[in-house]
Chain A
Amino acid sequence: METAFTPFSSFGGGLLIGLGAVLLMLALGRIFGATGILSGAIFPESREELSWRLALIAGMVLSPIAIFAVIGTMPALTVPVSPASIAVGGVIVGLGASLGSGCTSGHGVCGLSRLSVRSLVAVPTFMATAAITVFLIRHVFGG
């Protein structure tokens, strides 16, 4: 399935994602890593560690609703894979991102922008395995 190439809205959205990361650093001195934020909210170490994560997650979840309130449509979202793929992929994402201490936001945005050596290894690794996985599913096994 083709999707439209959207360089301007994608770059603009990217700027906002980066701004979100900067605001969290300014306010709380933390890295905006979705894996760390979500797992810290599910398995909290203290009340203090839980509350800001819940507030941050609430803001994230509210964002499509805020967009709907302003422009009257929800952001487009097409799921081209089966529910089984979502479930299996999700478990692997959760296991892998927590073992590797980060995902697209933590290693990709925050880690690369502060030139973390670990992130400079992690990002090409997960980008490569994601591309190989999509190639195998779509072009070898003909998913």
Chain B
Amino acid sequence: MKLLFALLTGLVFGTGIALSGMMDPAKVLNFFDLAGSWDPSLAFVMSGALVAASVGYRLVWKRKAPLFEGRFQVPTGTQIDMKLVGGSALFGIGWGIAGFCPGAAIPALGTGRWEVALFLGAVILGFWLRRIVAPLHQPRAAA
């Protein structure tokens, strides 16, 4: 039941990615091309996602616990360090070069395009590099 729910959740998210245009690197790169063929669509993607998540999270957090786990696992860190700023800066550079980000590329893999597989393979290589240059000290701190 838990895994079926996770699968359907992925399907909702991925359908949103596809419908929104996030899956299309041409559109993503044009969003960042303010001085050229600017396409502001992605600002609308972000707005829609933030509206839904801001309202929805607050409704969900009225519960004591999630449906299938004992507790909510939300990151609580507030530390602004070089890893956060430098890592985010690097991420933006890579996003601007390739036009894909991980959340868009995973659903895009389903289109069967080889470029997506190449991108995700490279991302995984980057994850592995990170484990070499900066081994994990904490258990996990995604976002």
List chain A positions with a Cβ less than 8 A from chain B: 1-40, 42-43, 45, 51-52, 55-67, 74-81, 83, 85-114, 116-119, 121-123, 125-135, 137-139
Q: Is A32's CB under 8 angstroms from B13's CB?
A: yes
- State the CA gap A43–B63 with chains docked (Å): 31
Shortest distance from the beta carbon of B19 to any chain A beta carbon, whole Å:
4
- State the CA gap A111–B20 with chains docked (Å): 20
18 intermolecular pairs with C-beta atoms under 8 Å apart: A5-B41, A14-B49, A18-B52, A25-B57, A27-B66, A28-B69, A36-B142, A42-B127, A51-B3, A52-B6, A59-B11, A85-B97, A86-B118, A93-B126, A98-B127, A114-B57, A125-B92, A130-B95
List, in ascending order, chain A residues with CB within 8 A of B72's CB.
25, 29
Bin the interface of chain B by size: 35 or more
Q: Is B10's CB under 8 angstroms from A60's CB?
A: yes
Q: Is B36's CB under 8 angstroms from A43's CB?
A: no
List, in ascending order, chain B residues with CB within 8 A of A55's CB.
3-4, 6-7, 10
Shortest distance from the beta carbon of B135 to any chain A beta carbon, whole Å:
12
Shortest distance from the beta carbon of B52 to any chain A beta carbon, whole Å:
3
A15-B49, A16-B13, A89-B100 known; A100 vs B90 contact (CB < 8 Å) = yes
- State the CA gap A81–B30 with chains docked (Å): 12
List, in ascending order, chain A residues with CB within 8 A of B113's CB.
77, 79
A14, A90, A122: which contacts B52 (Cβ < 8 A)? Answer: A14
- State the CA gap A10–B45 with chains docked (Å): 5
Q: Is B16's CB under 8 angstroms from A96's CB?
A: no
Interface centre among A5, A57, A98 (most CB of B within 10 A): A98
B19, B35, B106: which contacts A57 (Cβ < 8 A)? Answer: B106
